[in-house]
């Protein structure tokens, strides 16, 4: 009996062990499913491809002038941002013609881009004549406010319609000053009868005629020689131009008259502009504004240093009583009002006051 019980117990143990061995091991916990990758960042839009082209940009400033330096920056920026597809060829110093010729060429589309003077613009946009009134702006900041808040949008539509150009930016040319040979200028009376070269700009001619000066219209390309030969005894230009073109070599007096704030208009032919993709138009406008900002910073901050440098070249510098000049400007304002229109003059003067 004991043997039977022992056998039964042994059998139970064997069966138990077999059952344990046969029991399926619980499957190992499945590895956690890898977390779904975070939503892929939105694919960056493909860089636009630009059509290969070469654009011609011509101006009359010397290569040492800030305008040319700014245009060189502009050309580089356009090239880099288009992957080298768009090349801007810059022709300085009147290589492709004088100021009048270049205005005609950009209007006709013979060149793509140009820097148009106020007088050049006024030939197409009548109301722009009033911009030539003397002593409009107190300083650079005042001029910039009026340009940005009023002048750009005021003339751009008519420039497009009448001249066939898109306006890209307004460049400072600076406050204009008087230089003479052998004639120190301390009051407006010192310019009476003086033979002075004035560009063919109605406002400047009217201003110096109001002073009783003997105004002469001579192409800028002929100015140095005319001064050298004594055809005229005086001229007027911003100090940056006086330095860049070495006028100190043939003029010994500089009078800080600030009689006129000169601005120029960076434009592109409409046919060229309208052929560009929106992306290229954006790049060109942005680079034009960068060029304008460079010029503003340079001219406004460097004027005192330029005057000092001109003194170092032997020029005597005077700071005339400006009230003696402004008191004589009514005929110039009347003349500009007639050319540009009384309404245009009123609109401009209101903007000048509103932005002081």
Give tens-digit pLDDT for 255-279: 999 999 999 999 999 999 999 999 9
pLDDT at 33: 45
Helix 342-354 vs helix 330-340: crossing angle, to nearest 10: 120
Residue 331 pLDDT greater than 60, yes or no:
yes
Least confident of 19-33, 69-83, 323-337: 19-33
Residues 6+ apart with CB under 8 A from 349: none
The 10s digit of each residue's pLDDT in 227-258 is 999 999 999 999 999 999 999 999 999 999 99
**Would you place residue 4 in the very low, low, confident or very high pLDDT band (cuts 50, 70, 90)?**
very low
Task: Give the sign of the dihedral formed by CA 52, CA 58, CA 62, CA 65.
Answer: negative
Residues 6+ apart with CB under 8 A from 76: none
Percent of the chain with pLDDT over 70: 87
Task: Give the sign of the dihedral formed by CA 144, CA 266, CA 107, CA 198.
Answer: positive
**Would you place residue 46 in the very low, low, confident or very high pLDDT band (cuts 50, 70, 90)?**
low
Q: Which residue has the tokens 């009448």?
A: 162
The tokens for 124 are 């197409």
pLDDT at 43: 58
SS3 (DSSP) at 116? strand
Residues 6+ apart with CB under 8 A from 259: 134, 135, 175, 176, 177, 178, 207, 236, 325
What value does the mean pLDDT take over residues 326-337? 96
Neighbour-count burial for 248-273, b at 16+ CB within 10 Å, e otherwise: bebbbbbbbbbbbbbbbbbbbbbebb
What value does the mean pLDDT take over residues 88-105? 95
The 10s digit of each residue's pLDDT in 63-84 is 999 999 999 999 999 999 999 9
Q: Does an H or E element contain 294, and which?
A: helix 278-312
pLDDT at 200: 82
Domains of the chain: 53-354 (3.40.190.170)
Fill in the DSSP letter of residue 247.
G
Q: Do residues 266 and 169 touch, judged by C-beta distance below 8 A? A: yes
Residue 128 pLDDT greater than 50, yes or no:
yes
Q: Do residues 235 and 197 touch, judged by C-beta distance below 8 A? A: yes
Residue 13 pLDDT greater than 80, yes or no:
no
Rounded Cα–Cα distance for residues 143 and 153 (Å): 15
Q: Which residue has the tokens 């060149």?
A: 111
């Amino acid at each position: 009996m004991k043997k039977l019980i022992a056998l039964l117990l042994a059998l139970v143990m064997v069966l138990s062990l077999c059952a344990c061995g046969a029991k399926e091991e619980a499957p190992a916990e499945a590895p956690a499913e890898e977390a779904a990758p975070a939503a892929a960042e939105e694919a960056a839009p493909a860089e636009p491809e630009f059509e290969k082209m070469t654009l011609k940009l011509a101006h009359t400033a010397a290569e040492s002038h800030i305008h040319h330096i700014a245009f060189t920056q502009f050309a580089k920026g356009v090239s880099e941002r288009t992957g080298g597809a768009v090349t801007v060829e810059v022709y300085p110093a009147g290589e492709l013609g004088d100021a009048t010729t270049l205005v005609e060429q950009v209007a006709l589309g013979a060149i793509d881009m140009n820097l148009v003077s106020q007088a050049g613009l006024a030939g197409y946009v009548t109301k722009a004549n009033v911009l030539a009134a003397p002593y409009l702006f107190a300083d650079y900041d005042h001029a910039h406010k009026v340009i940005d808040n009023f002048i750009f949008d005021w003339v751009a539509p008519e420039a497009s319609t009448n001249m066939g150009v898109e306006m890209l930016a307004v460049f400072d040319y600076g406050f204009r000053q008087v230089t003479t040979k052998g004639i120190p200028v301390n009051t407006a009376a010192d310019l009476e009868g003086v033979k002075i070269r004035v560009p063919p700009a109605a406002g400047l001619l009217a201003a110096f005629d109001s002073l009783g000066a003997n105004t002469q219209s001579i192409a800028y390309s002929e100015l140095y020689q005319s001064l050298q030969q004594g055809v005229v005894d005086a001229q007027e230009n911003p100090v940056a131009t006086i330095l860049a073109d070495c006028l100190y070599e043939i003029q010994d007096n500089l009078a800080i008259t600030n009689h006129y704030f000169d601005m120029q208009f960076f434009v592109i032919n409409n046919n060229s502009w309208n052929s560009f993709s929106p992306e290229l138009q954006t790049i060109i406008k942005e680079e034009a504004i960068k060029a304008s900002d460079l010029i503003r910073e340079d001219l406004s901050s460097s004027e005192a240093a330029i005057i000092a440098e001109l003194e170092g070249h032997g020029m005597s510098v005077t700071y005339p009583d400006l009230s003696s000049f402004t008191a004589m400007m009514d005929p110039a304002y009347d003349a500009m009002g007639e050319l540009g229109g009384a309404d245009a003059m009123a609109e401009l003067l209101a903007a000048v006051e509103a932005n002081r």
